[in-house]
Amino acid sequence: MNSRRRDHLGTDRSEPLPVLIIGNGPSGICLSYLLSGYTPYVRPDAVHPHPLLQRKLAEAPGVSLLDQDLDYLSEGLEGRCQSPVALLFDALLRPDTDFGGNMESVLTWKHQKERAIPHMVLGRNLPGGAWHSIEGSMVTLSQGQWMGLPDLQVKEWIRRKRRGLRNSRATAGDIAHYYRDYVTKKDLGRNFVSGAVVTAVEWGTPESGASGGREPSPLFQVSGFVTTEDQSRRPFSLCARNVVLATGTSDSPARLGVPGEALPFVHYELAALEAAVRAGAVTPASDPVLIVGAGLSAADAVLYARHCNIPVIHTFRRPVDDPGLVFNQLPKMLYPEYHKVHQMMREQSILSPSPYEGYLSLPEHRLLLFKADRQAVFQDRDGLQKVFGVALVLVLIGSHPDLSFLPGAGADLAVDPDQPLSAKRNPIDVDPFTYQSTRQEGLYAMGPLAGDNFVRFVQGGALAVASSLLRKEARKPP
């Protein structure tokens, strides 16, 4: 642990922190950038290709985007995301990207230190969040330029590293490296504490007497531990006026809920297969690896196993041609590797065996149980049971947000509090223009937790949160 980290988490702080961000992925980094005084303005000479947006932008020349009415500016914008502010910020950063264009951003950035709001970003891993857990050689689904954060183009960064994009896409390893570098290049490091895990956030008693007639501010107590260099855990406890949940949704893998799932050969991360291959525990001569799931993570695992000549059984519950399968929604030209996996799923199915040696797909099969002697028992669509011996199992069927550090695991904060929290179906209910929880003043959520699932779109959440926090700061008495 470095001394900076010690100072950061020292408990002798007399004043509460204005803002504490939990999670150091693209969401937390982008918000830290905006809270550090980096302020977006529309370039005076820029003309946005969206005529209505251009007209609105021209109404407030020289006014920072953070001080403008985001509701008004984003009205009428459409795109691949539900959030109006995410669409707005994306349209300003990448004006014509959805039309295949490469127009420069209409924004220019000024570093105005007087606008900075003191804050701290806590994260389990290094800055970059989920990108440090994704297999480094995996190629991003999104175009490389959509993975970038404000004012540092991925393309430019990659060129300087003397590397290249693959078919306009980047590797997860490069993207993780880019996010770490972004924090350094933008001098945000002093606000980041890596290796810090939040285990509890509590609130309740608003500060009395200190509000000068305004609504009393809530006060949050945030505690957890930081892992030190000698791998010991040191507890911390911090007080904050505002807490931003930017914890993503990758920390709690979905389970099958079948007997035997806790057996030691059942895993939930591709890293487990990589480790087994490295250790020689799984080889081309072993029993097959069982990969469960029909999403892109499962496809990445199939590709990795094939690359290492490891035999694979690939099982999933849906039919291969189900329109809901992600493979049926991806353009073949742009994603040849995923198209290849889809082709194998179809052509090398147990229902019609053919050419891909070492790969067998089991569409419309349900896993019933795992046995201690490494047997997996399935049921097919006709109710017939089948048993296969396997070397290792990888269950890659999605993940859930882990908000166990909140009272009631955050269930009350969801759009429908009676249903499980889910990035796609039931995110945290936030005001669309501030990203503040509709249930708890001072508590914000962004990124997939608030329903914004792509890096390109999590940045609008950061803009909304920063704008809201700046307004709160401006209301504070001198």
Binding site residues, ligand FAD, CB under 6 A:
22-28, 122-125, 129-130, 134, 140-142, 196-198, 246-248, 250-251, 297, 405, 447-448, 453-456, 458
449 burial (CB, 10 Å; 0-12 / 13-18 / 19+) is buried
Give least dist CB 61 to ligand FAD, A. 32
DSSP secondary structure, 1-52, as one string: --HHHHHHH-TT--SPEEEEEE--SHHHHHHHHHHTTEEEEE-TT---SSHH
Give least dist CB 164 to ligand FAD, A. 17
Strand partners, 186: none
Q: Considering the complex, state which of residue 47 and residue 271 has its C-beta at the smaller distance from ligand FAD.
A: 271
Q: Which residues of 197-207 are buried (b: 16+ CB within 10 A; e: fewer)?
A: bbeebebeeee
Biggest CA-to-CA distance, the chain: 76
Give least dist CB 407 to ligand FAD, A. 14
Give least dist CB 453 to ligand FAD, A. 5
Q: Considering the complex, state which of residue 376 and residue 428 has its C-beta at the smaller distance from ligand FAD.
A: 428
SS3 of residue 190 by DSSP: helix
175 burial (CB, 10 Å; 0-12 / 13-18 / 19+) is buried
Residue at shortest CB range from ligand FAD? 248
Give least dist CB 241 to ligand FAD, A. 19
Cα distance between the two ends of the chain: 36
Give least dist CB 296 to ligand FAD, A. 7
Q: Considering the complex, state which of residue 138 and residue 276 has its C-beta at the smaller distance from ligand FAD.
A: 138
Q: Considering the complex, state which of residue 80 and residue 371 has its C-beta at the smaller distance from ligand FAD.
A: 80
Give least dist CB 102 to ligand FAD, A. 18
Q: Considering the complex, state which of residue 267 and residue 374 has its C-beta at the smaller distance from ligand FAD.
A: 267
CB neighbours (10 Å) of residue 266?
22
Give least dist CB 23 to ligand FAD, A. 3
Please list the alpha-helical segments (H only) found in 120-165: 154-160
Give least dist CB 123 to ligand FAD, A. 5
Q: Considering the complex, state which of residue 107 and residue 130 has its C-beta at the smaller distance from ligand FAD.
A: 130
Q: Considering the complex, state which of residue 26 and residue 150 has its C-beta at the smaller distance from ligand FAD.
A: 26
Q: Considering the complex, state which of residue 105 and residue 297 has its C-beta at the smaller distance from ligand FAD.
A: 297
Q: Considering the complex, state which of residue 243 and residue 360 has its C-beta at the smaller distance from ligand FAD.
A: 243
Positions of E strands within 53-153: 107-111, 119-123, 139-143
Nearest to 147 by CA among 111, 93, 106: 93
Q: How far apart are CA 118 and CA 123, in angstroms?
A: 17
- The answer to whether 19 and 119 are in contact (CB under 8 A) is yes
Distant-in-sequence, close-in-space partners of 207: CB < 8 Å, separation ≥ 6: 216, 217, 219
